[in-house]
């Protein structure tokens, strides 16, 4: 928010809540959630009187509060915070109201004739002077015409000064709002980038997870195939051994029969 000066704070608080509330705001300035008992102790004010003033400031929107229950004592304690941004809006509002009054006064001064008591008792417009027969209602002296050209000039100066001040305030507010919009836009873009980056990382993570899962499945498939081959080999080995044994026994039988035949032949020859 726009910068709020101490002179602005004093001006606004004194007009909105009273001069006796100014020290409270100055004590709270730059602090948050200050206990009412601490404020009372720092400013040496009775707690009931302080609460009355704080509620007046709260009604003007210059402070906010939080209340917490004291566990030991059982009652609620109020913690107060000053709202500087509210000062700026109230300060501008007061200036606008003052400007309106000055414009009304200028219109009255320009469109009327005024009469003064030579003793300085009263100042009356033409209709009022006629009502009193151009005599002072206080002392009876004859009223004299009042040259209000200086008053008109002074009012015009004040109006120009206030108008310029309000315009500067409005300009500063627009610039602030513009900067806030830019800030919000940048923050939004940053959050969108972060969100996209999170989505990208999540997709990558899911992709890697899927690839690992796939690789695991392929590996499991390969291992299962290898196991099946081993089982097949193991199941084939015993049958081969039986066949070999049979072939060996057949070979031995053939040898024995051939030996027998040869011995028979040799006996016949003899």
What's the gap between Cα 98 and its chain centre?
35
**Same domain membership, residue 193 and residue 95:** yes
What's the gap between Cα 105 and its chain centre?
45
Q: How confident is the model at residue 156 (pLDDT cuts 50, 70, 90)?
A: very high
**Same domain membership, residue 176 and residue 104:** yes
**Same domain membership, residue 130 and residue 63:** no
Non-local CB neighbours of 117 within 8 Å, separated by 6+ positions = 123, 136, 138, 139, 141, 143
Instruction: Yes or no: say if 124 and 153 are a contact pair by the CB < 8 Å rule.
Output: no
**Same domain membership, residue 79 and residue 102:** no
Residue 226 has pLDDT above 90, yes or no: no
Whether 43 is in a domain gets the answer yes
Domain range holding 62? 6-83
Give percent of the chain with pLDDT exceeding 90: 49
**Same domain membership, residue 136 and residue 155:** yes
Q: What is the CA radius of gyration of the chain?
A: 53
**Same domain membership, residue 151 and residue 114:** yes
Whether 41 is in a domain gets the answer yes
**Same domain membership, residue 129 and residue 61:** no
Residue pLDDT, tens place only, 167-212: 888 887 787 777 777 878 888 888 888 888 888 888 888 888 888 8
Q: Which of 200, 227, 258 is the last residue of a domain?
A: 200
Read off φ and ψ for residue 215, nearest 5 degrees: -60, -40
Residue 268 has pLDDT above 50, yes or no: no
CATH number of the domain bearing residue 12: 1.10.10.10
Whether 161 is in a domain gets the answer yes
Whether 176 is in a domain gets the answer yes
Residue pLDDT, tens place only, 86-136: 888 898 899 999 999 999 999 999 999 999 999 989 999 999 999 999 999
Whether 15 is in a domain gets the answer yes
Complete DSSP assignment for 42-73: HHT--HHHHHHHHHHHHHTTSEEEEEEE-TTT
Q: So what's the pLDDT on residue 119?
A: 92
Residue 56 has pLDDT above 80, yes or no: yes
Q: Crossing angle of helices 36-43/47-59, nearest 10°?
A: 110
Pairing of strands 34-35, 144-146: unpaired
Q: Which of 200, 232, 260 is the last residue of a domain?
A: 200
Non-local CB neighbours of 64 within 8 Å, separated by 6+ positions = 58, 80, 81, 83
Residue 75 has pLDDT above 90, yes or no: no
**Same domain membership, residue 113 and residue 28:** no
Q: Which of 175, 200, 225 is the last residue of a domain?
A: 200
Extract the tokens encoding 139: 């002392």
**Same domain membership, residue 196 and residue 103:** yes
Q: How confident is the model at residue 253 (pLDDT cuts 50, 70, 90)?
A: low
Give percent of the chain with pLDDT exceeding 70: 83
Q: State the average pLDDT for the chain.
A: 83
**Same domain membership, residue 180 and residue 134:** yes
Residue 239 has pLDDT above 60, yes or no: no
Whether 210 is in a domain gets the answer no
Q: So what's the pLDDT on residue 197?
A: 87
What's the gap between Cα 172 and its chain centre?
22
**Same domain membership, residue 144 and residue 67:** no
Q: So what's the pLDDT on residue 134?
A: 92
Residue predicted with more confidence, 3 or 239: 3
Name beta bridge partners: 115. 124, 145
- The mean per-residue pLDDT over the stretch 160-169 comes to 90
Answering whether pTM is above 0.95, one says no
- The mean per-residue pLDDT over the stretch 221-239 comes to 68
Cα 154 to Cα 254: distance, rounded to the nearest angstrom? 149
**Same domain membership, residue 177 and residue 109:** yes
Count of structural domains, the chain: 2
Whether 127 is in a domain gets the answer yes
Whether 94 is in a domain gets the answer yes
Non-local CB neighbours of 42 within 8 Å, separated by 6+ positions = 27
Q: So what's the pLDDT on residue 116?
A: 93
Cα 234 to Cα 185: distance, rounded to the nearest angstrom? 72
């Amino acid at each position: 928010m726009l910068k709020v000066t101490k002179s602005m704070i004093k001006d606004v608080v004194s007009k909105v809540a009273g001069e006796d509330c100014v020290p409270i705001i100055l004590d709270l300035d730059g602090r948050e959630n200050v206990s009412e008992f601490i404020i009372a102790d720092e400013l040496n004010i009775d707690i009931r009187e302080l609460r009355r003033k704080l509620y007046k400031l709260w009604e003007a929107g210059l402070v906010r509060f939080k209340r917490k229950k004291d566990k030991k004592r059982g009652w609620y304690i109020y913690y107060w915070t000053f709202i500087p941004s509210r000062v700026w809006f109230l300060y501008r509002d007061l200036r606008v109201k003052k400007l309106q009054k000055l414009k009304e006064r200028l219109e009255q001064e320009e469109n009327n004739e005024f009469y003064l008591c030579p003793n300085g008792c009263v100042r009356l417009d033409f209709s009022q002077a006629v009502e009193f027969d151009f005599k002072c209602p206080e002392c009876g002296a004859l009223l004299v015409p009042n040259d209000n050209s200086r008053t008109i000039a002074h009012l015009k100066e004040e109006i120009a000064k206030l108008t310029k001040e309000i315009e500067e305030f409005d300009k500063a507010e627009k610039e602030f709002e513009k900067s806030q919009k830019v800030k919000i836009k940048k923050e939004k873009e940053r959050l969108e980038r972060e969100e996209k980056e999170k989505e990208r990382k999540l997709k990558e993570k899911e992709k890697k997870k899927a690839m690992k899962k796939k690789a695991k499945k392929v590996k499991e498939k390969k291992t299962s195939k290898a196991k099946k081959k081993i089982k097949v080999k193991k199941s084939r080995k015993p049958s081969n051994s039986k066949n070999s044994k049979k072939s060996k026994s057949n070979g031995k039988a053939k040898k024995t029969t051939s030996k027998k035949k040869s011995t028979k032949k040799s006996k016949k020859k003899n």
